Structure 1
C-alpha cells in the first residue's frame, strides 16, 4: 500500500470518527446560555386557537421550531412534545409530534374527565432539554368543566389581581401583558364584507407585496371572540428569550432526536455468567407500515434505536437475538422527567353572572358533538412504505391457490424455494439462496404482520386459513453485522398475529402515539337540494376554520368559510414564519348578526 493510499485512508477514518462522535454525543442538562455545542440550540413557538376552552371543545395547535443560530425554521429535531400541565405541576396529557422542516401539528379533544382550572401548555424538543436553557415555550390556558360540581379552582379570592379586564364578568390574575403585535410586512387581510348573516359565505382575500413571505409556513384560525377577557395568546412576533419558560430537567444526559424518534434502553444479564458483549436487540413495530431494526448493545448493555419513519401501531416489540432461554432482561428508558416547580400560572376566575354564558356554550358544544358524524375531521393516512423485503420477493396470495389448513402443507404444496427444517422435533423455516444450490447456516428473517418472530414454531403451528399472503426473498439480507439467509414476510388476514401469546423473551412496550395530520372539517352550504338537508342540522361552531398548513405561494390568495348560527364578533388570525424565519402575525375581524 503506497503513501498516497495510506493518507487517503487516514483522512477517511478521521472524518468518520468525527461524524460518529457528533452523532453519539450527549449533553449534560444544565443551564448553558452561551451554548458552544456542535448542535445549535432551538426555540419553540406554539400557535393555539384560543386560551379559553370548555370541555367538549378542541384545542388546536401548530408547533414551529426555530434554529437559534440561523433564526430560520429548524431542520434539526425530528420530534417535538407538547404537554398540558395543571396547577399541581403534573402533566395531564402529553403529545408526540413529528416535525417536518421545523413544523408539526395536532389537536386534543377536551373530555369531561378534566376538571375546571388554570393550566399551562408547554412545548419543547429533546434538543432543548439537552441544553436546559431558557427556551421552553409556555402558554396559560383555562378550561371550564361545568359538569363537575367542584369549581373551586376558578373561584379563588382575587383581591390582589395584577391584570384588570374591561368585562366585569371575569377576572384574571396574570403577569402577562397583551403582546398581540401586528407584523407590518406587506401582507394584508380583507373580507368581502364587514357584517354577515347566519350560514353565509365569508370570502377572505390575502394580498402579499413581500416576496419573502412566499413559501413560508403559516397557520390560519377563524374563531368567535369570547365575550369575557382571558389570558392573551402569545404571538410569534413577540417571541424572545424573555418569553420562554425556564424548565430545568433532572441532571441527566439527553440525546437530541436529530434523525428521528429515539428509543433507548438497557439489557441486563439474569445470570452473572452471561456476557453483554456482542449481544443484539431487535425492534419491530407491527402494522402495514411495519418497522424492523437491530441495535448492537455496548459493554454496559445500552442500546439505541432511531425510528425515522411514521408508524400507526403504539406497541413496540423488543427481543435479544437468540435469547430463547430468556437470560436477559430488557428495560426501556422512560421519558426524561421535567420539573415544573417554577411555573407561575395566570388565574381566570368565574362569578355567578357568567351562568348563562356557561350554560349556553355547554349546550351548544353538546349539540355539536352529537352531530360529529356529519362534520368529521379526516385523519391523513400514513403513506405506504414499500420495503426492500417485498420489492425483491415472490409473493404468494393464498386465495389464488388451493388452500391447505396447515402451514406445513402450505409450504410443501404452494411455496417454492422455501421449506421447514426439523431438528429435535422443532421446525424452522429455510430459504434456498438465489442462484446457489448450497444451503446456508444463517437463519431466515421471519416477519409476521411486521412482528419479528425468532421462534418459527409459532407460525408453523398457526392456522394457514388465517394467512393472507407469504412473500419470499431469496437474497441474503444484511443488517449491520447480522446476516439472514433470505426474508419471509407473512401477512395474516386480520393483521393481529402480534396479539397472540408471545414468548417470554419478547418485551412489548406501549409508546406515546404519534400525532397524525388531519384534514379538518370545513362547513359548506351549497345552493343545491343537499342544502335542504343541511338546514335541519344545527350549526353551533365557534371555530369556523382551522388550517394548520396555510401556504402563500402567490401574491394573492382567496379562501371561503361559512358562518354558523352563533352571533358575535369573529377573528381571523394568520401566524407563522417566512422561509427566512421572519415572524408573521396578522388579524382581522368581522361580525355575524
Structure 2
C-alpha cells in the first residue's frame, strides 16, 4: 500500500507542473489502477433532537477493488446542511478505510430534514464524483423554529407514518450468513438498570468490522433504504479521473497563500507551521513564486491553535497568511420535506428531557475517547527535567547553567544560540553548532534569546533530544522542548512575522459504553441510547461480547449492526430486546 501511495503522489506531481489551474486527465491505462473511493457513514440512530450527540462510524471502500476497505485517503470531510444553509463541518481520521467520531448538534438547529455529506478529496478527482449523502431528520423540541419551506404537517393517524423503523422492518435482514446474535439464558428480556450482554458472532471465515448501536424504539427514529448494503452493495467502478485535489494520503494537506507588499521577496522563503501543544507537529516548507504553500500533516485531533512563522522575513512589510478552506462545500440540490405528525409528540418530549439532563449534568463524561498517537518526528527517548524537582531560579539562563549539562548558551555575531550536547559512537562529547530546534509548547522559537526572557516559574519541564532531525528543507541537530503549565506559549504571539490561527483538527474517535459501575448513582438515568461502538472488529468464525447497562426507560430496544467483511461484502442486521 505504501508503494501504491507513492505512485499516487508521483502521478499527481507528474501532471501538476502542467496544470496551471486547469484539470489534466489521467490516461486510461492508469485509470484502471487508481482507487475509486466510496464512503458510507453509519449513525447511532436515524433521527435526532437539536442538542443531542450524533455518533458516526465511517467506511471508505475502493470501488475498483471489489468494495474492500481503502487505505488510500486518511481524511474524510463531513458537511451537514439544511435547505437554507451549511450548519456545521467536521473531519474524521480514516485508518485503513475506517473512521469514527461524534458531533454535538447545536441546540439552536431548527426543525427540518438535514443532509449529511461525506467525501474524501480524492473522490473529487473522479470525472463524475460519487459523494455520500444521508437524510437525517432533526427536531427542535425547545423552540418552534423550522427550516423554511422544508416542514409540512400531516394529520394521518397511521402509526407507521412516523415509526420509520417499523415501516422498513421487512427489508432489513441482510446478514443471515454473516453475523448472528447469541443471548444468554435470560434471552432478550432484562430488567431496567441492570447489565445486559450478548455475543455478536461472525459466521464467516473472513474478518469483519462493524458498528453496533443499541437504542430505544420510538416514533422518532427512522431507518429506511439508505443503509450500508444499499449504499456499498453495488458499486460502479470509477469513470475516469482528472487531478483537481491532492489526496490526503498520510493526513490532511493544508494549503494556503502568503501575501505581502513585495511578493518577489518571499519567493522560496522558509515557513514554519506548528500545532500548539504538539511537539512532533512541526513542519517547514518553502513558499512558491506566488506565495503559495502546502503542508503535509499527520492526523491531529480537536479544535486547535496553529502557529505560522516566517523566521527570515523580518524586513518584509504587509505580511499576512490566507489558509485555504479545508472543505469543498457543494450544497445538496434536493431536500425532502419533513412531515410532522402529533403521534411523535410523546417521544420528542421524552428525548428532550433526556437531552436537557445530559447537558445540565455533564453526562459527556461517560463518553470514551480513543486518541491515536503517531509521532512522526521525535522517536528517541529524551532527557527530561521536571523543574519542580529542582531548586527554582528566577532566570532561565540560571536554570540551564545550574543543572542541565546537556544544554548551553553561546553568542555568535551578536546572536544567542542554545546548543545541545552530543555524544558520538566513541562517547566523545561535543555541542551542536547553530542547528538546534527549540520549541515552546510545540511552537518553534527561532530566536533563542526569546527563551531567556520566559519566566522559568511558568515552565513545567524541559525535554532534550540529541539526534539529528530533518523537517522539510531544514536540518536540526538536537531538539529542546520547553513545556509550560498552561500550554499557552507565552511571549510568542507578539512577533510581527508570527500568525496564530484557529484550526479544526479531526474528530476524536469515540464510543459510548455504560456499565453498572460507570453511571453516576446520584443522577437520573434516562438514556435512550444504551450502547454505541463505531469499530467492533471480529475475526473469522469468532464472536465478541457486548455488555451495557440498561437505563430506567422501559420498552423495546433495537440492537442494530452494520459492517463489512474483509472481502468487501457489506451486511446489515438487527435484533430486539425488552427492558422491563
**Paired residue for 2:47?**
52
**Paired residue for 1:581?**
568
Output aligned runs, 1:242-261, within 5 Å. Answer: 253-261=244-252
**Paired residue for 1:118?**
113
Output aligned runs, 1:322-471, within 5 Å. Answer: 322-327=312-317, 328-342=319-333, 344-352=334-342, 354-373=344-363, 376-383=366-373, 385=375, 388=378, 391=381, 393-416=382-405, 418-422=407-411, 427-431=416-420, 442-471=434-463
Q: 367-376 or 413-422: which moved more?
A: 367-376
**Paired residue for 2:205?**
211
Output aligned runs, 1:524-539, within 5 Å. Answer: 524=516, 534=521, 537-539=523-525
| Secondary structure of 1:359's aligned partner | helix
Q: Deviations over 1:4-25 (max 9, x none)?
A: xxxxxxxxxxx99977632535
**CA pair 418-521 structure 1, distance change in 2 beyond 3 A:** same
Structure (1 or 2) with the larger CA radius of gyration: 1
Q: Distance in 2 between matches of 1:295 and 1:354?
A: 56
Q: Distance in 2 between matches of 1:313 and 1:85?
A: 21
Give the TM-score taking structure 1 as reference length: 0.82
**Cα distance, 1:73 vs. partner?**
0.4
- Alpha carbons 2:275, 2:281 under 8 Å: kept: yes
**CA pair 157-29 structure 1, distance change in 2 beyond 3 A:** farther
Q: Deviations over 1:484-533 (max 9, x none)?
A: 3443222223332157533111122221131112241313279xxxx9x9
**CA pair 31-237 structure 1, distance change in 2 beyond 3 A:** farther
| Secondary structure of 1:587's aligned partner | strand
Give the TM-score taking structure 2 as reference length: 0.83
**CA pair 298-540 structure 1, distance change in 2 beyond 3 A:** same
Q: Does 1:262 align with 2:248?
A: no
**Cα distance, 1:586 vs. partner?**
1.2
**CA pair 403-41 structure 1, distance change in 2 beyond 3 A:** same
Q: Distance in 2 between matches of 1:354 and 1:480?
A: 57
Q: Distance in 2 between matches of 1:106 and 1:389?
A: 28
| Secondary structure of 2:439's aligned partner | strand
Q: Deviations over 1:550-577 (max 9, x none)?
A: 1223434443333333233221111111
| Residue from 213, 230, 249 that aligns with 1:238 | 230
- Alpha carbons 1:84, 1:120 under 8 Å: kept: yes
Q: Distance in 1 between matches of 2:365 and 2:349?
A: 23
**Paired residue for 1:10?**
none
RMSD across aligned positions (CA):
3.9
| Residue from 219, 222, 244 that aligns with 2:214 | 222
Q: Distance in 2 between matches of 1:559 and 1:275?
A: 58
| Secondary structure of 1:565's aligned partner | coil
Q: Does 1:62 align with 2:51?
A: no
- Alpha carbons 2:112, 2:151 under 8 Å: kept: no
| Secondary structure of 1:318's aligned partner | strand
Structure 2, gaps ≥5 residues long = none
**Cα distance, 1:66 vs. partner?**
0.3
